[in-house]
Structure 1
Amino acid sequence: MISGLSPVSQALVGTLFTWGLTAAGSAVVFFLAGTKRKVLDGSLGFAAGVMTAASFWSLLAPAIELAETSGSYGAEGEWAFIPVAFGFLLGALFVYAADEFMSSYGIQSSSIIMGIQPDKKKEDDAYTYEAHTPYHHPAMSNVSAVGQGSSSNAFTLVDFNDVKQRRGEAGSRVVGAMNDEEDQNYGKPSKHDLWRRILLLIIAITVHNIPEGLAVGVGFGAVGKTPLATFTKAKNLALGIGIQNFPEGMAVSLPLRGAGHSVWWAFWYGQLSGMVEPAAGVLGALAVSYCEPVLPYALAFAAGAMIFVVMDDIIPEAQMGGNGRWASGWCIVGFIVMMALDVALG
């Protein structure tokens, strides 16, 4: 993030940064043949705390101030909570509806990924995992985390047809709306099925990462519109989302490697989750730059989407590996760190 650029340029730089940290997290697969589950759970907990703090100080607080000073919500801004509450709810509903839409069409990216079969050599070279503990990730919903002994230190992959996802009945179906004949040949997909699964994977990952890109774009687009909407706060928001993206990249690439895919294949799909953020960020900055009255709604929308992702995806994911207290502790640390950055530097 470079001071002096236009809001759109700032949004582009900021989201390229968040994408870069996603790729950096995904690149961990080049250096580790495996990783301790405890490390990932702690990283996810820290990311949840950072995103929660960023949602308030960088998005909700400026949204409330904008609504109060606009003069449109009471003489003294006593009704300023209305646009903020509406935008917050709309953001949460957007992510929820996107999840439900994908589930209704059988789009769950984990099964799609695992349906993209590696060749025999790659499969033989991959490291293996043991046991079966449920594990969830926005882009890897059916991947499982396991412990060796009681320490929950590694990953495993389970039969996706036997796993019931948190979101309900749709989780038990194999992705891609495959018919019975395709199910029988699931291990040997045709080239057509292979590319269909890749397409569905891209759709699933894209939908999950749009809110994060929008949040960065809206944050930079709002700079200068209110005393609380500063360049530093927008920069801190991008930093917070980038911190969250690092373990997200790890959580996709490491299980893929464990499924038998090559290191480069696993890295590609790990970084893919951040690729949509620059486009979403630019659109968010453009929208609020040319339509100032929607700023309170837009900022609150971004906050609602981020909080929903934290509560529905990141926190449950961090708690499922048997390291719940560890993850919760790092969540508190992440919140304090982000609060300190926003208050001290904002």
Structure 2
Amino acid sequence: MELSFTNNPVLGALLATLFTWFMTALGAAVVFLFKEINRKVLDAMLGFAAGVMIAASFWSLLEPSIEMAASLNMKEWVPAAVGFLAGGFFLWAVDKILPHLHAGMKTEEAEGIKTSWQRSILLVLAITLHNIPEGLAVGVAFGALGTNISSATFAGAIALAMGIGIQNFPEGAAVSIPLRREGMSRWKSFLYGQASGVVEPIAAVIGAAMVVHMRPILPYALSFAAGAMIFVVVEELIPESQLGKNTDCATLGTILGFVVMMVLDVALG
């Protein structure tokens, strides 16, 4: 399997993000069991997702970016710094343009370009925004397998996909449960919740294809994904996890998420 994904990293990226999409759908399916979710539990889950993304940004993206830059005879810090800043700026721009609404906020507090779209669509788009850098990160990690760079490993790419998949579970629930609470049917809430993950396979295939055909951009692509993920964590996940004033639960969730992702990456990668 490792050899086949090395020879066809785009396929590997697609299959890996189909798994992460499935985990989003699994989280959204919680709506069939509950109409409400305890705010402490939700804050802890959001914190956990933030911790996973923070750890993945370094262990799975920035550190390999620095190592790959050295192997390509680049100044190690340049791709990491330039890509990281570009990724953060890219998500900042998307955040300003894409209409979206975070759970717990009033419709008139929606961010991005003003629109008359339904509240449900705006809620889904908020989580979809999270999933762009996640899919890109997995895609770039698998795309690196086709470059024959020693620091790009199959186990590391799998660890990243697993970590992203795990934290997608609470993200799916964070969409479907609020929609159900607002009166939408269970089935429709589920469909909207899982739809937020559809962007991940798309972003992954694009990311993998780019680095396969343009090997020199790989260190920049890895750090770009890291910058985009950190933007999501600081701009959205951590603030949302603090809205319910359950700061201890959210913080402990973040620490746990960081440790889980670190262990996955170090143990498997």
Assess same fold via TM > 0.5: yes
Q: What letter matches 1:45 in structure 2?
A: G
1:206, CA displacement in angstroms? Answer: 4.7
Q: CA deviation at 1:323?
A: 1.1
Given that 2:131 and 2:197 are in contact with CA atoms closer than 8 Å, whether structure 1 keeps it comes out as: yes
Q: Which residue of 2 aligns with 1:160?
A: 107
**Aligned residue type for 2:136:** L
Q: Any conservation in 2 of the 1:217–1:281 contact (CA below 8 Å)?
A: yes
CA shift, 1:198, in A, is 7.7
Q: Kindly state the Cα deviation for residue 215 of structure 1 after the two structures are TM-superposed.
A: 0.8
| TM alignment of 1:1-346, pairs within 5 A | 2-3=1-2, 4-5=4-5, 6-71=8-73, 73=74, 79-102=75-98, 107-108=99-100, 110=101, 141=102, 143-144=103-104, 159-161=106-108, 164=109, 175-176=114-115, 178=116, 206-223=128-145, 225-346=148-269
- Kindly provide the amino acid, as one letter, of the partner of residue 43 in structure 1: M
Matched-pair identity in %: 55
CA distance in structure 2 between the aligned counterparts of 1:50 and 1:239, rounded to whole angstroms: 10
Q: Is the 8 A contact 1:212 1:241 kept in 2?
A: yes
The one-letter code of the counterpart of 1:222 is A
Separation (CA, whole Å) in 2 of partners of 1:198 and 1:41: 20
Shift of 1:11: 0.2
Question: Per-residue CA shift, 1:72-128, capped at 9, x if unaligned?
Answer: x3xxxxx320121000110011110001123xxxx23x4xxxxxxxxxxxxxxxxxx
Give the 3 Å change call, closer, same or farther, for CA 32–199 of structure 1 in structure 2.
closer
Off by >4 Å, runs of 4+ in structure 1 = 197-208
When the two structures are aligned, how many residues end up with a matched partner?
265
Native 8 Å contact 1:257 1:266 kept in 2: yes
TM-aligned CA distance change 1:246 to 1:311, over 3 Å: same
CA contact (8 A) 1:214 1:302 kept: yes
Contact 1:90 1:301 in 2 (8 A): yes
> Is 1:206–1:273's contact at 8 Å kept on the other side of the alignment?
yes
Cα distance, 1:344 vs structure 2:
2.1
> Measured at CA, do residues 198 and 310 of structure 1 come closer, stay the same or move farther in structure 2, by a change above 3 Å?
closer
Looking at structure 2, the residues matched to 33 and 198 of structure 1 have their Cα atoms a distance apart, in angstroms, of: 16
Gaps of 5+ in 1: 74-78, 111-140, 145-157, 179-192
Q: TM-score, normalised by structure 1?
A: 0.71
Letter of the 1:338 counterpart? M
Question: Shift of the alpha carbon at 1:310?
Answer: 1.1
Distance in 2 between the 1:210 and 1:251 partners? 17
Ranges in structure 2 where 5+ consecutive residues have no aligned partner: none
Alignment partners' CA distance in 1, 2:71 and 2:77: 12
Deviation at 1:208, TM superposition (A): 4.2
CA distance in 1, matches of 2:54, 2:220: 18
When Rg is computed on C-alpha atoms for both structures, the one with the higher figure is 1
Higher helix share: 2
